[in-house]
Structure 1
Amino acid sequence: MSEEKWTEDELKEIKEDIMSALETVIDPEIGIDIVNLGLIYEVNLSEEGYCEIKMTLTTMGCPLADVITEQIYAAVKEVDAVKEAEVKLVWYPAWTTDRMSRYARISLGIR
């Protein structure tokens, strides 16, 4: 068995870096980042630097899906540990405003 590349703490820190990078991706229609909107469901990183991001969109027919996806690729490329990334759109569980952060709710006037 090969030795692990990162310790558990290092992996946690890298995932935090990835999430910070994803916070720079703003939903163009809503004006809030995809992390605070609750669109990111899961982030996985392999020892080889392959990053898989499972996310959803606020609506299934979102016309800006490609724009958001391209911004995600550009953002996670800035994280040194990420060598390759893939965005997988998932529709379950369906996104609701309950997934939004307190910051996003306040910004949009949702209680």
Structure 2
Amino acid sequence: MTQAPDPVEGTPLIEPSSTHHPLHDEVVEACRSVFDPEIPVNIYDLGLIYTILISDDDDVHVTMTLTAPGCPVAGEMPGWVQEAIAGVAGVRTVTVDLVWTPPWGMEMMSDEARLELGFM
């Protein structure tokens, strides 16, 4: 088994999202409708959505993580995200990949999430 090479210095660990795509804001709002049952903040503001890629054909690919590998909803949350985004008008297909690298950290939360959880 070959080990993946270390990322080249300066290479982002998280691929940039398709923020220019007309469906991006609606897809983000769909992600904001999904909550971790144990935390009263949506998964987008928690920083669990790493990348939203939207093709020219309106196919959406999401890369996300969870707060911890042992999260009780690990098997369900990607499906919740997929269902939420599939409900956005104009989206053709949705795929969701769950990754553990880079690991999630509290610094990934939005200011709103930090405020809601009492970290600010």
TM-score computed with the length of structure 2 as normaliser = 0.78
* Equivalenced residues, count: 102
Q: In 1, Cα distance between the equivalents of 2:102 and 2:78?
A: 19
Q: In 2, Cα distance between the equivalents of 1:55 and 1:73?
A: 11
Q: Note if 1:34 corresponds to 2:48.
A: no
Cα offsets for 1:26-68 (capped at 9, x unmatched): 1111121001100111001122222100011000121202332
Instruction: Give the aligned CA root-mean-square deviation in angstroms.
Output: 1.6
Tell me the amino acid that sits aligned with residue 59 of structure 2. Y
Q: Note if 1:73 corresponds to 2:87.
A: no
Secondary structure of 1:58 counterpart: coil
Report the alpha carbon displacement of residue 92 of structure 1 after superposing the two structures with TM. 1.4
**Of 87, 96, 109, which residue of structure 1 is paired with 2:105?**
96
**Of 33, 41, 52, which residue of structure 2 is paired with 1:43?**
52
TM-score computed with the length of structure 1 as normaliser = 0.83
**Of 59, 65, 73, which residue of structure 2 is paired with 1:64?**
73
Secondary structure of 1:91 counterpart: coil
Secondary structure of 2:52 counterpart: strand
Tell me the amino acid that sits aligned with residue 86 of structure 1. T
Segments of structure 1 that go 5 or more residues without pairing to the other structure are 1-7
